[in-house]
Amino acid sequence: MGSADSKLNFRKAVIQLTTKTQPVEATDDAFWDQFWADTATSVQDVFALVPAAEIRAVREESPSNLATLCYKAVEKLVQGAESGCHSEKEKQVVLNCSRLLTRVLPYIFEDPDWRGFFWSTVPGAGQGGGEEEDENARPLAESLLLAIADLLFCPDFTVQSHQRSTVDSAEDIHSLDSCEYIWEAGVGFAHSPQPNYIHDMNRMELLKLLLTCFSEAMYLPPAPESGSTNPWVQFFCSTENRHALPLFTSLLNTVCAYDPVGYGIPYNHLLFSDYREPLVEEAAQVLIVTLDHDSATSASPTVDGTTTGTAMDDTDPPGPENLFVNYLSRIHREEDFQFVLKGIARLLSNPLLQTYLPNSTKKIQFHQELLVLFWKLCDFNKKFLFFVLKSSDVLDILVPILYFLNDARADQSRVGLMHIGVFILLLLSGERNFGVRLNKPYSVRVPLDIPVFTGTHADLLIVVFHKIITSGHQRLQPLFDCLLTIVVNVSPYLKSLSMVTANKLLHLLEAFSTPWFLFSAAQNHHLVFFLLEVFNNIIQYQFDGNSNLVYAIIRKRSVFHQLANLPTDPSTIHKALQRRRRTPEPLSRTGSQEGASMEGSRPAAPAEPGTLKTSLAATPGIDKLTEKSQVSEDGTLRSLEPERQQSSPEGSPAKGESSQAWRGQRRPSSSSASGQWNPTPDWVVSWKSKLPLQTIMRLLQVLVPQVEKICIDKGLTDESEILRFLQHGTLVGLLPVPHPILIRKYQANSGTAMWFRTYMWGVIYLRNVDPPIWYDTDVKLFEIQRV
């Protein structure tokens, strides 16, 4: 039968379903088989031939028919999983049912009255055969999920058969050990199966259905107390799923082994269409959704002793009940860490390769999913985090993140990407090794729209951060605290900043210490405190190599004197705010000599008008995101916040309070004009008296007269001579006693868990356009907005 006939018959069946007013019996196979038995329709066809309006009409007007359709489709998948799908016809039925369910499920989820449907048992709904009567009581959702899991390891359908001969001795799907059928070599599996286009496509269709099952989360509004586990994920990642380990490993290995370059041959992707990429994308999306687990709320869950003797570490106490999280947290072999890190770094660097040889490699689009995966790895597996920071391999993650941050800074639709990039750097910056690694010279010439400099990876990080703060869009203001906290965390370890970088840091201090900025919002002075802390750390712990910064501080010494003498009387405060209203320029770019940008770079562009974006949950303030720790003499960290355990979690809003209140964010100063914020002299004095200026004032007191003397004696206006003097100078014994180093380490909290959930599902919603699985359905987790 031709594909046109097949589409026509399928469309006829859909029309019959929407026009029948009477319930159709579940036993009427002649009717139901029209939907899957004789048709060969692609997933795109199914979306075109089953319009949203018709699904909703059946749901409202003949609900029992929609229920029977779902139940019959699940039954077919269960039968396919039972039989092992040996014939082409059976395979076609499974794919058709899978596509149909992918189409219909979102319309079941969007209606609260239907939400329990898949979790109820259908009377008399056996597994197709009568021999397993005790299984009858399974909810439909569980039968569906177990069938998908079985079908993902179905020989000759989604995996290579290990048998030589044909159907008569086909493997029994029930005795099959799916650990021998892992899809790709990597963690805990050494054998790389022959690539098979058909198997990849079939896996992809089933993973699409799985992701659609999990997407019920999109139809529930965001709750700050996000203890709400997703029942679909919870069941699928439990011990009920005998394929949990091989599937977790298959997904992880498929993503991390993927090489979009095409076997290292430039331009190879133009000759061969890459059928692996859609599978890799789907695998990455399913993986991050299964790992959506609030580590803050689950300190000591139990699991029924399911450990494996493979790549997972058995020494730790049993981890979370979600086996995917459990397995991820127990990976421990060096070669496995190396494989995962290299794979993620290779894929994250892919968009950067584009800029050397345009079109030489295929450009991947799933970097946001990869960043979420990397975050989960570091958050759930501390051994992995330490491995990442043990060598300069961490820089292969850092450079792409800085590239994405710099590229997205002007684009309102990519504010989520900005946040996750900054969160990852905040997490890494809590470890001393990250600061140490940043001293490696930066020589990779990725064309970035930033001033040219010669220096280290620390210079790159600070120059990009400066660019984000001075030329990003307004909605990035809540990230300023995070950006500067990262710089504070690494500052005690930075051996030598370039002159370009030193000037950028002082330009930020100048911009943030103007009276109108300090007075115009309750939190703004924190930024000045962070910058002073950076200067103090470098002066006290890295004075020797940092003559550029010392010179820049001497040149801009007036900024420090102005801060020390900041007026606190009411009339000056009032005047400063008046001046602000007349000149609403967010941050002056003057005074920062913008050098020419790197050759070959494109300026960061705003979003195209009309670009879709999804709203995000509020992020907690920096005080909720991090925990202060002090670095002891021996380098160990001691938490300075022991009382946090007893106190109520400030990160969550009190009942009835809007979630706006817990943003802890700096309002754009314009909104403060409406009288919401009124700075008082007492308030200014309260923090001005705490400004940590002693070390810098002492440095200026000692060095300024010496530098002035050199200039007068030698009639100098030449920087290099002064720098040479500063390089050999010393302040030993002249500075105050070094302060202990303070590190603000990221700490898990329900606020960020909720943020990650909305961000991740927003990415998945926007990225699945062919077919548009969730488009135009009533999602509640976020709003869809146009830029």
pLDDT, tens only, 663-717 = 333 433 333 444 568 889 999 999 999 999 999 999 999 999 988 888 888 776 6
Rounded Cα–Cα distance for residues 498 and 504 (Å): 10
What is the pTM for the complete model shown?
Answer: 0.88
What is the per-residue pLDDT for 56? Answer: 96
Nearest residue to 151 via CA among 159, 141, 162 = 159
pLDDT, tens only, 284-299 = 999 999 998 876 554 3
Q: Which amino acid, one-letter code, is at 428?
A: L
pLDDT class for 324, splitting at 50, 70, 90? very high
What is the per-residue pLDDT for 158? Answer: 92
pLDDT class for 323, splitting at 50, 70, 90? very high
Q: Does residue 525 contact residue 667 with C-beta atoms inside 8 Å?
A: no
Per-state percent for the chain, helix, strand, coil, to nearest 5:
55, 5, 40
* 210: pLDDT strictly greater than 60: yes
State percent of the chain over pLDDT 70: 82
Q: What does the mean pLDDT of the chain come to?
A: 84
pLDDT, tens only, 728-770 = 887 878 888 888 999 999 988 888 888 999 999 999 999 998 8
Q: Does residue 323 contact residue 237 with C-beta atoms inside 8 Å?
A: yes
What is the per-residue pLDDT for 601? Answer: 74
pLDDT, tens only, 212-234 = 999 999 999 887 655 568 999 99
- Lowest-confidence segment of 19-33, 165-179, 621-635 by average pLDDT: 165-179
Q: Does residue 559 contact residue 411 with C-beta atoms inside 8 Å?
A: no
In order, the DSSP letters of 424-456 are: HHHHHHTSHHHHHHTTSB-------SSB---SB
Q: What SS3 state is found at 39? A: coil
Nearest residue to 213 via CA among 146, 125, 293, 123 = 146
What is the per-residue pLDDT for 664? Answer: 34
What is the per-residue pLDDT for 147? Answer: 96
- Lowest-confidence segment of 255-269, 373-387, 599-613 by average pLDDT: 255-269
pLDDT class for 647, splitting at 50, 70, 90? very low
pLDDT, tens only, 76-122 = 999 999 999 889 999 999 999 999 999 999 999 999 999 899 998 86
Q: Tokens 């990976």 belong to which residue?
A: 331
Question: CA dist 203 to 177, 280, 372, 417, Å?
Answer: 18, 10, 22, 28
Rounded Cα–Cα distance for residues 760 and 372 (Å): 8
Rounded Cα–Cα distance for residues 278 and 768 (Å): 11
pLDDT, tens only, 506-545 = 999 999 999 989 998 889 999 999 999 999 999 999 999 9
